[in-house]
Amino acid sequence: MRLTRTVLGIESSCDDTAAAVVSGTAKHAVIKSSIVESQTDLHAAFGGVVPELAARAHAEKLDHCVELALRDADVALKDIDSIAVTSGPGLIGGVLSGVMCAKGIASAIEKPLIGVNHLAGHALTPRLTDQLPFPYLLLLVSGGHCQFLIVKSPSDFTRLGGTIDDAPGEAFDKVAKLLGLPQPGGPSVEVAARTGDASRFKLPRPLLDRDDCNMSFSGLKTAVLRTRDALVSGDNGLTEAKRNDLCAGFQAAICDVLGQKTRRAIAEYLYLKPIAPSFAVAGGVAANQAIRGVLESISQETGLVFCAPPLPLCTDNAAMIAYAGLALLEDGQISDLTLSARPRWPLDRTTAPMLGSGKKGAKA
């Protein structure tokens, strides 16, 4: 029988400061507490996350989040068996704040430190919530990421493909900004799309002619910009009804691209002949009901079990980091106090970085 352990997780790679306590084994773990302090208000006026402000806010909030996580879990530091921390990829100042905080705690209580890849945290969440058996197919779709992964173990991932430019969440946020809707853009575009007519504006579905799992969303965003400009200078300007139609058209294009590429990824995954074929989604965009609906019905059609973790575990949180740490700890994969913060850290180091994967190089 495997040893039950209690892990403190710390997450600070973007604009959420989070701490959590997870207890149990990798097969069956329980979230004892999960604290997430969002910085949305701090960055609202800037139309995006300001890395320097984010890093300072993390440094200020981390201690407090850790205290709250311990209190909610009703455990003391002496009860913690290990400290897991996001050590990349992400905004370097924020990652560094978390790594320094975790090192301080680990050295004070003399317990092992575990550096966790943020993407592995998202990718392993279906194990925490649904004990999904390996290997499973995962679509990670958030503000910073969009990729299909085959998850084979806590440290073995194969990337089938992903976006070659923007992530869908980023596109939702930019489209909201273009149309004067509040941030974060995903929920506001989704609400506007509900009453819109998706067929009114013809928007592109890039890369659907390519027989692979790669995607592109920046052209779609530019098409929305052009359509908006044409509407603004046309008769009656950009009315609320037209804006809702544009949101609906944009969301339908995202659904089509994600849906068709999911079919392709499922076909590649099924080549492995998994014993219990399963498909999971993670990341903030998985909150979108229309997208979730498309992915779920494709899973059903192709005979896969569909898993969508509860929303607070789809978006950034520290429970996923604590859980990934627990799984790595069981596999003996611990770090030491030389652990460094990594702004870029692809999960699958065997697959070549994607062409055009951002001005800053391949992040994931």
Cα 285 from Cα 54, distance rounded (Å): 21
Number of shown-chain residues binding Zn ion (CB under 5 A): 2
Pick out residues in 164-193 that bind ligand KG4 (CB under 6 A). Answer: 169-170, 172-173, 184-187, 190
Number of shown-chain residues binding ligand KG4 (CB under 6 A): 20
| Binds ligand KG4 (CB under 6 A): choice among 11, 165, 245, 316 | 316
Task: Indicate the residue among 94 and 169 with the shorter CB distance to ligand KG4.
Answer: 169
> In the stretch 13-42, what mask flags binding to ligand KG4 with x, by CB under 6 A?
-x----------------------------
Cα 161 from Cα 175, distance rounded (Å): 24
* 98 interacts with, out of Zn ion, ligand KG4, none, CB within 5 to 8 A per kind: none
| Binds ligand KG4 (CB under 6 A): choice among 288, 299, 335, 357 | 288
Cα 143 from Cα 288, distance rounded (Å): 13
Task: Indicate the residue among 48 and 104 with the shorter CB distance to ligand KG4.
Answer: 48
Task: Indicate the residue among 24 and 309 with the shorter CB distance to ligand KG4.
Answer: 309
Cβ atoms 12, 318 nearer than 8 A: no
Burial 77-94 (b: 16+ CB within 10 A, else e): eeebbbbbbbbbbbbbbb
| Residue 290 burial (10 A CB sphere; 0-12, 13-18, 19+) | middle
CB of 94 to Zn ion, least distance (A): 12
With CB atoms as reference, the residue minimizing the distance to Zn ion is: 316
Residue 11's H or E segment, with its range, is: strand 5-11
Cα 31 from Cα 86, distance rounded (Å): 17
Indicate if the alpha-carbon torsion angle 273, 274, 275, 280 is positive or negative: negative
Question: Helix (H, G, I), strand (E, B), or coil: what is residue 281?
Answer: strand
Cβ atoms 327, 311 nearer than 8 A: no
| Binds ligand KG4 (CB under 6 A): choice among 93, 115, 284, 346 | 284
Contact stretch for ligand KG4 (CB under 6 A) within 64-72, 210-218, 234-242, 283-291? 283-291
| Binds Zn ion (CB under 5 A): choice among 15, 16, 165, 316 | 316
Q: What is the largest CA-CA distance in the chain?
A: 71
Task: Indicate the residue among 80 and 252 with the shorter CB distance to ligand KG4.
Answer: 252
Q: Site residues (CB under 6 A) for ligand KG4? A: 14, 142-144, 169-170, 172-173, 184-187, 190, 283-285, 287-288, 315-316
Binding interface with Zn ion (CB under 5 A): 142, 316
